[in-house]
Amino acid sequence: MPDPESITNPQVQRTHRAMLDAARRLLSDNGPSAVTHLRVAEVSGVARATVYRHWPDRADILLDLLSRSADLHLTPPPPDLPVTDRVTALLRTFAATLNGDGGQILTAMIGLAEWDDDVFSALERMTTRGPQSLRNLLATGIEEGSVRSDTDVDLLSDRLIGPIYLRRLLYHDEVTDAYVDDLVAATLGPSLLG
Amino acid sequence: MPDPESITNPQVQRTHRAMLDAARRLLSDNGPSAVTHLRVAEVSGVARATVYRHWPDRADILLDLLSRSADLHLTPPPPDLPVTDRVTALLRTFAATLNGDGGQILTAMIGLAEWDDDVFSALERMTTRGPQSLRNLLATGIEEGSVRSDTDVDLLSDRLIGPIYLRRLLYHDEVTDAYVDDLVAATLGPSLLG
DNA sequence: AAACATATGATACAGTATGTCTCATCTAAG
DNA sequence: CTTAGATGAGACATACTGTATCATATGTTT
């Protein structure tokens, strides 16, 4: 059985990567229920026993896969722009990730996290890092005066991210840049009038 | 095999209901993957063959269960109140449903709809009725002048519902009345200043 | 009340999936 | 070269899946 944390053996790295790639494809094509030891073995070409050696429990495969993919790429943009523009840029990259593979992975995690605490922990790590950088950005805006000072930062973050999630996860609509622009304008715009 | 649409036979009604109750409990306790013919038969006390007679495919059980539960109770409140108060009342009942069983069922549907078109159709019916009554309410507000006329109704609906979904589905936090109140105040409040 | 139609229960059956084990072979590292 | 560890191939028992059969129970009709 290979060491789960620091894998130095290149043979182990190869098989592990091949199996994870297969699991990723299975998840993307057929959903979480398709990610089993048997099917991962079939798709990856690795022996079934080896899949069990790496992940004794079926949920471990998904958790490993999801933990590695749990990056929504909500990196803060360069600080030489107005806050509202930086917020827009941040949310655009976030929406782009949701439109791509991130949306499916997030969907899978939401469906599993309700009944699996480990998946929920991974989901929590995945969904707190992004909003945090957004909150920092909004806090900067409040200091600058470009965002209303009586606005709750946490709620404001929810109001910017919530509609984007809604559109992707429930409506299965692509989140366009125009949608993000309108959302930011409607949410942060009126503050300039106060 | 019983007629799926108009069941008049009381015997069929009994077994069908018993099996659906078992499926509901299994879904709530252990998630969609636990809703199988075998386990529904065990929990309900019905013979396994009978479960197959009612739903030949495993997904049909969930789809039947989800379609019946797909009511988010987004009923419009009495029209003798200001629009913003009616919006608040509407969203409060919506949040209450999400806090209860509706949240788990919706979570299950989101996780399945990504890879099952039939579930997505059911999800679509479930998530369009509610926003529609909200949109009608917001349109009334625009006519009255209590909501900014330059606001896109669809976007405004998303901005009110999105954060509520976000809080329940991703954060697993209870959506309190206070949260709804703050959300409505922040979203519709500034319009009064314009 | 009797006769008919249908749904259910119980069981059997083959096929497949799951989880564990063994051992020969292969790979990596000293 | 030698040794430790990982993999491949297969066996094995168990459980789950999907279908079929037939006796029994239930509902409907005359």
Strand D nucleotides with an atom less than 7 Å from a protein beta carbon: 5-11, 16-21, 26-28
Q: Which structure tokens are listed for A96?
A: 């782009």
3-class DSSP assignment, residue A184: helix
Domains in chain A (CATH in brackets) are: 10-68 (1.10.10.60), 70-193 (1.10.357.10)
Dist CA B2 CA B9 (whole Å): 9
Dist CA B19 CA B54 (whole Å): 9
For residues B146 and A169, the model is more confident at A169
Dist CA B96 CA B112 (whole Å): 23
Mean pLDDT, all residues of chain A: 91
Dist CA A115 CA A117 (whole Å): 7
Please give the average per-residue pLDDT across A145-163, as a whole number: 92
Judged by C1' against the alpha carbon of A48, the nearest nucleotide is: D8
- Which pLDDT score, from 0 to 100, does residue A192 have? 46
Q: What is the DSSP string of B30-50?
A: H-GGG--HHHHHHHH---HHH
CA A11 to chain centre: 30
Return the percentage of chain A with pLDDT > 70, whole number: 92
On the question of pLDDT at A132 being above 80, the answer is: yes
**pLDDT tens per residue, range A31-59:** 999 999 999 999 999 999 999 999 999 99
- Which pLDDT score, from 0 to 100, does residue A76 have? 73
Instruction: Count other C-beta atoms under 10 Å from residue A120's C-beta.
Output: 17
**pLDDT tens per residue, range B89-145:** 999 999 999 999 889 999 999 999 999 999 999 999 888 888 899 999 999 999 998
**pLDDT tens per residue, range B114-129:** 999 999 999 998 888 8
Q: Which structure tokens are listed for A114?
A: 């309700």
Q: How far is the CA of B7 from the C1' of C1 (A)?
A: 27
Across A83-97, A103-117, B35-49, B57-71, least confident range: B57-71
Distant-in-sequence, close-in-space partners of A74: CB < 8 Å, separation ≥ 6: A90, A93, A94, A97, A129, A130, A131, A133, A134
CA A48 to chain centre: 30
- Which pLDDT score, from 0 to 100, does residue A78 have? 81
Q: Of A55, A77, A78, A53, which is closest to residue A68 (Cα–Cα)? A: A55
Judged by C1' against the alpha carbon of A57, the nearest nucleotide is: C19
Residue A194's pLDDT band, with cuts at 50, 70 and 90, is very low
- Which pLDDT score, from 0 to 100, does residue A179 have? 98
- Which pLDDT score, from 0 to 100, does residue B10 have? 86
Judged by C1' against the alpha carbon of A47, the nearest nucleotide is: D8
Contacts of B193 in chain A (CB under 8 A): 190, 193-194
Q: CA of B100: how far to CAs of A125, B8, B103, B173, in Å?
A: 25, 31, 6, 12
For residues A14 and B151, the model is more confident at A14
**pLDDT tens per residue, range B42-86:** 999 999 999 999 999 999 999 999 888 766 666 777 888 999 999
Contacts of A183 in chain B (CB under 8 A): 155, 158-159
Q: CA of B182: how far to CAs of A154, B131, B163, B173, in Å?
A: 11, 19, 11, 16
3-class DSSP assignment, residue B86: helix
Label residues B86-119 b or e (16+ Cβ within 10 Å = b).
bbbbbbbbbbebbbeebbbbbbbbbbbbbbbebb
Residue B191's pLDDT band, with cuts at 50, 70 and 90, is very low
Pairwise CB contact (< 8 Å): A186 & B151: yes
Q: Which structure tokens are listed for A70?
A: 């749990």
Any idea how long chain B is? 194
Q: Which B positions 122-181 lie with beta carbon below 8 A of chain A? A: 123, 127, 151-152, 155-156, 158-159, 161-167, 169-172, 179
Whether B186 contacts chain A with CB within 8 A: yes
Q: Which structure tokens are listed for B163?
A: 């954060």
